[in-house]
Amino acid sequence: NDVYDFDTGVDKNKKESVVNLVGRLVSLKLAFGIFVVAYLCLALGFAGLTWAAIEAGNVRSVLFLTCAIICGYIYQCPPFRLSYQGLGEPLCFAAFGPFATTAFYLVHGSASSMANHFPLSGTVLSASILVGFTTSLILFCSHFHQVDGDKEVGKLSPLVRLGTERGAEVVKVTVLMLYALLVAFGLSK
């Protein structure tokens, strides 16, 4: 993410950017090194989770994990860069909510109890909604200090579109909604 944002110039003043943290005199060589390390970590993580899925006897989880990774890729990577169209939060919701939560649920489930049907319960779906909204809210809030930089390069994040005052109201409403959902899901078991 940070390497691709470095490429567009959106993170030039973002102190917490990995590219900026590694070195103030950022060169293409350094950005390429971070790029390689990031993809190596992705490959190792995917291989490890695939191995865990095979060991658990539920390879279907790899499909959900792959969907989560695809959401992450089209979120930031060329030629898609859907975050620049303001679609980062919905992609984050899908990746971390339904896709990743379901993948990890399937890995932890019993293969014998899942052999003939799709084993998603209301509990798993409820948890995935809460995880998705929470993760999306974190992403949304991470852009408050980046509005000017996003505007400069044409990144139409929700905060660029809404402005920080209306964005703050969205945060308040979303936090209340998360607690309301938590209570509703809990009461409905």
CA pair distance 107, 61, nearest whole angstrom: 6
pLDDT computed for residue 23 by the predictor: 64
Q: What are the b/e assignments for 56-81, b being 16+ CB within 10 Å?
A: bebebbbebbebbbebbebbbeeeeb
User: Could you report the per-residue pLDDT of 119-143, keeping only the tens digit for each?
Assistant: 678 889 999 999 999 999 999 999 9
pLDDT at 151 over 50: yes
How far, CA to CA in Å, does 120 sit from each of 113, 128, 144, 182? 12, 11, 36, 18
pLDDT computed for residue 116 by the predictor: 47
Tokens of 43: 């490959």
Do 172 and 120 meet the contact criterion of CB atoms below 8 Å apart?
Answer: no
> Would you place residue 1 in the very low, low, confident or very high pLDDT band (cuts 50, 70, 90)?
confident
Mean pLDDT of 26-36: 73
User: Could you report the per-residue pLDDT of 171-182, keeping only the tens digit for each?
Assistant: 999 999 999 999
CA pair distance 42, 76, nearest whole angstrom: 15
> Would you place residue 110 in the very low, low, confident or very high pLDDT band (cuts 50, 70, 90)?
low
What percentage of residues in the chain have a pLDDT greater than 70? Answer: 91
CA pair distance 183, 161, nearest whole angstrom: 31
CA pair distance 89, 75, nearest whole angstrom: 9
Mean pLDDT of 58-68: 92
User: Could you report the per-residue pLDDT of 79-94, keeping only the tens digit for each?
Assistant: 999 999 999 999 999 9
Spacing of C-alpha 182 from chain mean position:
21
pLDDT at 27 over 90: no
Mean pLDDT of 3-12: 80
What percentage of residues in the chain have a pLDDT greater than 90? Answer: 62
How far, CA to CA in Å, does 165 sit from each of 56, 109, 113, 161, 171? 47, 44, 49, 11, 10
**pTM of this prediction exceeds 0.95:** no
Do 100 and 68 meet the contact criterion of CB atoms below 8 Å apart?
Answer: yes
* Residue spans per domain, the chain: 1-188
